[in-house]
């Protein structure tokens, strides 16, 4: 069975799309970005899905329901996950609905195609003890270590997505008021309280570490990113992922248990465990729908059931 790396290599080696298919896909992506403000990661996934379809079945705007069904069946045989197939179907529904609205088709060939049933994945959160060990792992006597401590503290204190964290500009921080201005999915902006501990480490980073990291930058005044590498480049998502794994080892936490997104899950779970309101949590996380936030109530409920079973005399 091909691995994800095999599939990526296969796609890289494919010939370019026919002009008509490439134009149709890009016009669709431009339209849904303008209409819904989808995140760049979602647009990139949609582009990849549609390009793969068009390479196997040129003339993507004119494909029949039978062809789409055969394409989905082939993906299943190749070992693609149900979640990947569900994303593709969401993309196809949006693509052909856009084609129908634009008068490019009279009917939607994806209309009767149904998404696979997805398992409900509960977020995996670290314990509060594990979080404390992870936050204390960076060596704060160095500029890089102080930056990393500030990033970890900020991500856990504010429940940020990793893309939100590394994309923060320096102007997003208001230490006097103790808030952070975050631009999340759909380009939506929200204000999140920093917290005392996070504010302390962020202040230390801005005073001591960031100026030191910018000393090698060609034009330090032009650097807008809040968190930077030596030389002034913005820290990437991939680089932060590597850092989190490294600090997990130093903290004595199995790296497989830890991810940047896991810090966001831990933030939400710990707030609920300490009595936070679900609506307030929704605002802090930047979720558009309360139903997205409600999955964390299942985590909190499981914890209560576990505590009851362990400590109640008739548990």
Q: Does any domain span residue 197? A: yes
Does 274 share its domain with 172? yes
Q: Does any domain span residue 9? A: yes
Does 92 share its domain with 134? no
Does 170 share its domain with 212? yes
Q: Does any domain span residue 35? A: yes
The pLDDT score that the predictor gives to residue 303 is: 56
Q: Which of 60, 83, 101 is the last residue of a domain?
A: 101
The pLDDT score that the predictor gives to residue 295 is: 67
Q: How many CB atoms lie within 10 A of CB 257?
A: 13
Q: How many domains does the chain have?
A: 2
Does 188 share its domain with 227? yes
Which CATH number covers residue 271?
1.10.443.10
Catalytically annotated residue among 161, 210, 265, 270: 161
Return the closest-CA partner of residue 116 out of 74, 63, 67, 76. Answer: 76
For 275, the token pair is 């009595």
Residues 6 or more apart from 35 whose CB is under 8 A from it? none
Q: How far is residue 169's CA from residue 164's CA, in Å, rounded to a whole number?
A: 10
Does 132 share its domain with 197? yes
The pLDDT score that the predictor gives to residue 207 is: 94
98 annotated active-site: no
- Reduced 3-state DSSP string for 251-288: CCCCHHHCCHHHHHHHHHHHHHHCCCCHHHHHHHHCCC
- DSSP class of residue 234? B
205 annotated active-site: no
CB-based burial, 285-305: b 16+ in 10 Å, e otherwise: bbbeeeeebeebeebbeeeee
Q: What is the pLDDT of residues 10-48, one digit of tens each?
A: 445 544 556 889 899 999 999 988 887 777 888 899 999
> The tokens 């899905």 sit on which residue?
49
The pTM is what?
A: 0.60
**Nearest 5 degrees, angle CA 17-CA 185-CA 199?**
135
**Under 8 Å between Cβ of 186 and 37:** yes
The pLDDT score that the predictor gives to residue 311 is: 56
Q: Does any domain span residue 22? A: yes
Does 198 share its domain with 138? yes
Q: Does any domain span residue 122? A: no
Q: How far is residue 293's CA from residue 186's CA, in Å, rounded to a whole number?
A: 17
Does 265 share its domain with 228? yes
Q: What is the pLDDT of residues 193-227, one digit of tens each?
A: 898 999 999 999 999 999 999 987 878 778 889 99
Does 82 share its domain with 212? no
Q: How far is residue 259's CA from residue 297's CA, in Å, rounded to a whole number?
A: 21
The pLDDT score that the predictor gives to residue 14 is: 46
Q: What is the pLDDT along the chain (315 residues), one digit of tens a residue?
A: 445 555 455 445 544 556 889 899 999 999 988 887 777 888 899 999 999 999 999 999 999 999 999 998 888 888 888 888 888 999 999 999 999 999 999 999 998 887 766 555 555 778 889 999 999 999 999 999 999 999 999 999 888 888 899 999 999 999 999 998 988 887 888 888 898 999 999 999 999 999 999 987 878 778 889 999 988 888 888 899 999 999 999 999 888 888 887 888 888 888 877 777 777 777 777 777 776 666 666 655 555 556 556 655 665
Residue 80 is part of which domain span? 4-101
The pLDDT score that the predictor gives to residue 2 is: 43
65 annotated active-site: no
Does 204 share its domain with 256? yes
Q: Does any domain span residue 145? A: yes
Q: How far is residue 228's CA from residue 50's CA, in Å, rounded to a whole number?
A: 35
Catalytically annotated residue among 147, 264, 265, 270: 264
Does 48 share its domain with 153? no
Q: Does any domain span residue 110? A: no
Q: How far is residue 271's CA from residue 252's CA, in Å, rounded to a whole number?
A: 24
Q: How far is residue 135's CA from residue 293's CA, in Å, rounded to a whole number?
A: 25
Catalytically annotated residue among 105, 185, 246, 303: 185
Which CATH number covers residue 32?
1.10.150
Does 82 share its domain with 158? no
**Under 8 Å between Cβ of 91 and 267:** no
**Under 8 Å between Cβ of 54 and 20:** no
161 annotated active-site: yes
Q: Does any domain span residue 106? A: no
Return the closest-CA partner of residue 87 out of 62, 116, 58. Answer: 116
7 annotated active-site: no
The pLDDT score that the predictor gives to residue 10 is: 46
Does 96 share its domain with 150? no
Catalytically annotated residue among 46, 96, 247, 296: 296
261 annotated active-site: yes
């Amino acid at each position: 069975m091909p691995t994800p790396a095999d599939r990526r290599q296969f796609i890289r080696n494919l010939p370019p799309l026919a002009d008509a298919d490439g134009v149709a896909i890009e016009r669709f992506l431009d339209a849904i970005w303008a209409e819904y403000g989808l995140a760049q990661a979602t647009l990139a996934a949609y582009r990849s899905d549609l390009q793969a379809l068009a390479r196997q079945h040129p003339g993507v705007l004119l494909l029949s329901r039978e062809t789409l069904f055969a394409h989905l069946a082939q993906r299943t045989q190749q070992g693609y996950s149900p979640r990947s197939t569900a994303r593709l179907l969401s993309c196809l529904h949006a693509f052909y609905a856009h084609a129908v609205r634009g008068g490019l088709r009279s009917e939607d060939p994806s209309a009767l195609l149904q998404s696979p049933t997805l398992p409900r994945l509960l977020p995996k959160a670290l314990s509060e003890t594990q979080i404390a060990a992870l936050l204390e792992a960076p060596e704060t006597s160095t500029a890089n270590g102080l930056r990393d401590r500030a990033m970890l503290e900020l991500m856990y204190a504010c429940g940020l997505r990793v893309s939100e964290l590394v994309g923060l500009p320096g102007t997003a921080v208001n230490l006097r008021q103790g808030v952070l201005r975050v631009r999340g999915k759909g380009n939506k902006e929200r204000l999140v309280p920093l917290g005392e501990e996070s504010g302390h480490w962020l202040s230390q980073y801005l005073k001591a570490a960031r100026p030191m990291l910018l000393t090698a930058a060609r034009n330090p005044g032009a650097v807008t990113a809040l968190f930077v590498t030596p030389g002034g480049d913005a820290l990437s998502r991939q680089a932060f992922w590597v850092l989190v794994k490294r600090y997990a080892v130093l903290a004595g936490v199995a790296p497989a248990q830890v991810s940047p997104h896991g810090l966001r899950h831990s933030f939400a779970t710990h707030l609920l465990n300490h009595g936070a309101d679900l609506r307030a949590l929704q605002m802090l996380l930047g979720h558009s729908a309360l139903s997205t936030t409600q999955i964390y109530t299942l985590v909190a409920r499981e914890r209560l059931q576990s505590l009851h079973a362990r400590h109640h005399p008739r548990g």
